[in-house]
Amino acid sequence: MARWAALVVLVVVGTAVAVATNPGFVARITQKGLDYASQEGVAKLRKELEKIKIPDISGRFKIKHFGKVRYSVYSMVIRRFQLPTSRITLVPNVGLKLSISHASVAISGKWKARKSFIKTRGNFDLSMEGISISVDLKLGSNSNSGQPTIACSSCSSSINRVRLHISRSKLGWLIRLFRKKIESVLRKTINSEICKAVRKAVSSELQPYFQTLPVTAKIDAVAGIDYSMVAPPLATANSLDLQLKGEFFSLAHRTPSPISPSALVFPTERDRMVYLGISDYFFNTAGFVYQRAGVLKLTLTDDMIPKESKFRLTTKLFGTLIPEVTRRFPNMKVRILLSVTSPPHLTVDSTGLALTPELEAQTFVVLPNSSLAPLFQLGLSTNVSVMVGVNSDRLIGQLTMDKLQLKLKHSDVGPFSVQSLQTVMNYLLPLLVLPSVNERLQKGFPLPLPARIRLFNLVLQPRQDFLLFGADVYYG
């Protein structure tokens, strides 16, 4: 049941619809995904049905000119339960329907009959063919936990043909006399047990598996991601959809985000099993949380520069550009505190993803007593291109940057042209800053996937205000 559960959980991860709160993370499962769920899940369901325990049957029947005969049918075992044709379909505004047809079951057991002092017993084989099973699955959400819910709202089954074969016995003709009665009782019993098994599988396996879909994910000591549902699942004629909050939040002090998510308009693509939409809101709440926490800063020192480089963070280097530096601080090391001054804003459109961060560089001299003396303060701006991908179950990224634009905000060494520092800063940031940032981005951020689900065969399409990921799904 876990394979089926995994896909059905993904079924409950959907698209943008008109809700009071727009989602930051949306997803959709297509009919292709439902077909995979049917294939994998029904194989497991078959094993569950083969575990059905058939209760013993006993009673009396009357034979003309012979009187009443007691009988018992017992020790019945399902040898084989075949489910050759199955399909999961969408029920708009309700959920899913599992339909199984042309199923069959083979049962073997024992029988015995008694009339006064006459006793007889034997074995039998019973086949049931043309079995149809219909299961309605209602999807919802828990308003307290933000998790999806699933329940079996209805189940029915029917059996077209029942055939009883009695093994050879001197008095086997006795049991054959009431074969129709036994077939009728077993037909009713198996019909009832099929739906009992289905309901049990949904409540004891499928619903608990839904709980493995993460509502929150801790990223590090600073932030987590809220993946709770903002609306109940919605079944349409072509997909089953759900909206997730998709918002980074501070672990230390959670407050409502000042950013508002835009409505996302999903395309009609159906080539992949699952489509995930990641809003620019998702990325921008991350920038807001980390910038507000004061962690978007990095101190650049000479020790970070490769030893073989002729470029050194010393007053000698800066003195060639700003003579006053060398005059006041000869042969001393320089330290630069680089920080992001406002939450970085990411934009997404059909051309790709871009950041325009506003940076500040405070430059200091390291004095002989290890204290710091300020030199100057620069404002830096640049355009950053963002490449995003998925590695298994994590969202990963990589940044590349254009040349920096510099502005002098304050100087303790007199006026100078910032153009003279252009080469220095355009060397330092790609060398010392980008590798550190990209290393963190390559570790990735967890996607809201249930246990043991992996994505493959991915396709990425930047759209207006969101990223669209198409993927096929593997459970294992």
User: For 320-353, what is each residue's pLDDT tens digit?
Assistant: 899 999 999 999 999 999 999 999 999 999 999 9
Q: List Cβ neighbours of 369 (8 Å cut-off, separation of 6 or more).
A: none
CB-based contacts of 463, cutoff 8 Å, min separation 6: 267, 277, 348, 349, 350
| pLDDT one digit per residue (tens) for the chain, 476 residues | 444 444 444 444 433 333 447 999 988 999 999 999 888 888 888 988 999 999 998 887 776 656 677 888 899 999 999 999 999 999 998 899 999 999 999 999 998 877 777 777 888 899 999 999 999 999 988 888 888 889 999 999 999 999 988 776 555 565 666 677 788 888 999 999 999 999 998 988 888 888 888 899 999 999 999 999 998 888 888 888 888 999 999 999 999 999 999 888 888 888 999 999 999 999 999 999 999 999 999 999 999 999 998 889 999 999 989 999 999 999 999 999 999 999 999 999 999 999 999 999 999 999 999 999 999 999 999 999 999 999 878 999 999 999 999 999 999 999 999 988 999 999 999 999 999 999 999 999 999 998 888 999 999 999 999 999 999 998 87
* Cα–Cα nearest to 30, from 474, 472, 345: 472
Integer Cα distance of 224 and 217 in angstroms: 5
What is the pLDDT at residue 21?
A: 77
Nearest-angstrom CA–CA distance, 127 and 190: 11
pLDDT value at position 4?
Answer: 44
pLDDT, position 177 = 65
Residue with tokens 């308009």: 265
Check: CB of residue 385 under 8 Å from CB of residue 357: no
Q: Rounded to whole angstroms, how far apart are CA atoms 464 and 41? A: 36
| Structure confidence at residue 66 (pLDDT) | 64
**pLDDT recorded at residue 172:** 54
User: Which residues, including other chains, have CB under 8 Å from residue 1's CB and lie 6 or more apart?
Assistant: 41, 44, 45, 48, 201, 205, 206, 209
If residue 141 lies in a helix (H) or strand (E), which one and from where to where?
strand 118-141
Return the SS3 of 467: strand
What per-residue string of b and e applies to 200-238 under the rule 16 or more CB within 10 Å gives b?
ebbeebbbebbbbbbbeeebeebbbbbbbbbbbbbbeee
Cα–Cα distances (Å) from 350 to 4, 24, 268, in that order, read 35, 18, 16
Given a contact cutoff of 8 angstroms between Cβ atoms, the answer to whether 324 and 414 are in contact is: yes
In sequence order, which residues have a C-beta less than 8 Å from that of residue 281 and are 6 or more positions away?
22, 24, 246, 247, 259, 260, 261, 262
The answer to whether residues 358 and 340 touch, using CB atoms and an 8 Å cutoff, is yes
What the block records as the tokens of 363 is 């430059």
Strands (E), 142-202: 148-158, 161-166
Structure tokens at 387: 């490449």
The answer to whether 476 and 305 are in contact (CB under 8 A) is no
Q: Is the CB of residue 97 less than 8 Å from the CB of residue 135?
A: yes
Note the pTM of the prediction, 2 decimals. Answer: 0.84
Provide the pLDDT for residue 18. Answer: 36
Look at residue 452 and give its three-state secondary structure. coil
Distance of alpha carbon 432 from its chain centroid, rounded? 34
Bridge partner residues of 59 (DSSP): 71
Q: Burial-class residue 35 by CB neighbours within 10 Å (0-12, 13-18, 19+).
A: middle
Spatial distance between the Cα atoms of 155 and 178, rounded to a whole number of angstroms: 30
Q: What is the pLDDT of residues 377-397, one digit of tens each?
A: 999 999 999 999 998 789 999
Nearest to 13 by CA among 146, 119, 118, 161: 146
Which helix H or strand E contains 317, and what residues bound it?
helix 315-321
Half-sphere exposure of 112 (CA within 13 A, CB side): 6
- Give the strands of the sheet with 247-250, arranged side by side: 216-218, 223-226, 247-250
